[in-house]
Structure 1
């Protein structure tokens, strides 16, 4: 019978956000406090665990020895407007959330877990707006978050402005993917094109000298497609 990882619920008090932030923590099979582990931090944490099947996918890839064991930390938000306020550049809590991400969360992780203290040992994963805020964190704090998995990230002029002025690519490793049907995603607020701006982002990133993989999967802006895309993403970042 294969070993399975375990999931624990924790809470981190954030002074920056003035709230308790719920965390889902995945410990890999055969976890031991005597060993150092890389850390994968997921925006939209509960969705990645439930809809994206992140923990079970990690279990399978660890069991098959396709990836190294890691700790996964899923950050929860309070749904609805709270996600927009924290993740979107125009959100009222966006600046506070970036401070939480850059200071409070890494401090907590390094205190609670036996991890690598370098940016190369900490990866962010996010979809859509979660991909946007993960990308902003990686470009703003590359010595803290040296690895990124971006699934169909929201891309706007804010990201491109940061990108054009960024010079620390040697510190980073990216996996970036978007669906070929995302040029006509029917969102609740209308039809949106995620494919074109992501291709523009990829075109720019391909000119930089760093570990970067861009892929287009058959699918749309949906968890069922992101779930399948997790396998190549995790293999690229955590492959042995």
Structure 2
């Protein structure tokens, strides 16, 4: 039997903080109706998550075959490598305003556009690498806005380790956190080799000491979309399982 497919449409939002128009991809589940309140999952690297990560296709299958909770997925697109770094990297010139855009402008827009669950658990984030850093940082800064987060092979600078070490409680959050077991040697697009695995294991130890809904996984492989795409299945199950 063919799987029912949700719809994907293009959208735009103007950000006053960034002084630019941001392209969005919006996925509505197959049986979407405006009469029902839906949780929303917001993806950094939106286009990559839809195309390389097969996020919408994976959600379609899990919603139909496993009774995964129906949700709206919003992909936030960047304008290329330099724009991504300026917005996602903690040292980037657009970083702080991008955080404000995500926390205030985008959430307000989505709450007006859709019949959403007006609770922290109703708004989720997903990101990989630098996008994982942004997703995690937003959930720490605004836990009452973003109550669920998936971080796949996130960039974990020392400043993030220090921030988490200083936190006494995060029980409002649900976090799925994964990293590849070969990510001690990852060479980024600029040709710089970094160890992603060790700081992610440090972060895992800190999060395990906090009272929160938390799942950690180490998958086989390196810092690649083919691995994140497979990892989406347990990640979505953890955040949106109806069981």
Same fold (TM over 0.5): yes
Please state whether the residue corresponding to 1:171 is helix, strand or coil: coil
SS of alignment partner, residue 227 of structure 1: helix
Aligned to 1:150: 151
Alignment of 1:180-219 (within 5 A): 180-188=181-189, 189-219=191-221
Structure 1 CA distance for aligned equivalents of residues 114 and 168 of structure 2: 31
Which whole-Å CA distance do the structure 2 matches of 1:116 and 1:163 have between them? 27
Specify the SS of the correspondent of 1:215: strand
- Cα-to-partner distance string for 1:64-112 (whole Å, 9 max, x where unaligned): 1341110000000111211001001100000100100110011001000
In structure 1, what is the equivalent of residue 9 of structure 2?
8
Partner residue of 2:231?
229
Q: Distance in 2 between matches of 1:168 and 1:115?
A: 26
- Give yes or no for contact 1:38–1:70 (8 Å, CA) kept in 2: yes
- Pair 1:54 & 2:66 matched: no
2: distance between equivalents of 1:185 and 1:95?
A: 26
Is the CA contact 1:39–1:72 (under 8 Å) kept in the aligned structure 2?
A: yes
- Are 2:140 and 1:139 equivalent residues in the alignment? yes
User: 8 Å contact 1:43–1:126 — kept in the other structure?
Assistant: yes
| Structure-2 separation of matches of 1:147 and 1:215 | 16
Structure 1 residues without counterparts, runs of 5 or longer: none
Match in the other structure for 1:21: 22
Give SS of 1:103's match: helix
Partner of 1:121: 122
Q: Distance in 2 between matches of 1:205 and 1:165?
A: 11
**Post-superposition shift, 1:168?**
4.4
Contact map agreement 1:139 1:162 (CA 8 A) in 2:
no
Q: Which runs of 5+ in 2 are unaligned?
A: none
SS of aligned partner of 1:48: helix
Name the SS of the counterpart of 2:230 in structure 1. Answer: helix
- Deviation string for 1:200-237 (max 9, x for gaps)? 00011001111000000001100000000000000000
CA distance in 1, matches of 2:23, 2:168: 34
Partner of 2:65 in structure 1?
64
- Structure 1 residue 37 corresponds to structure 2 residue 38: yes
Alpha-carbon distance between aligned partners in 2 of 1:175 and 1:215, rounded to the nearest angstrom:
8
3-state SS in 1 of match to 2:218:
strand
Instruction: Report the secondary structure of 1:221's partner residue.
Output: coil
After TM superposition, the score normalised by the length of structure 1 is 0.98
The CA deviation at 1:137 is 0.3
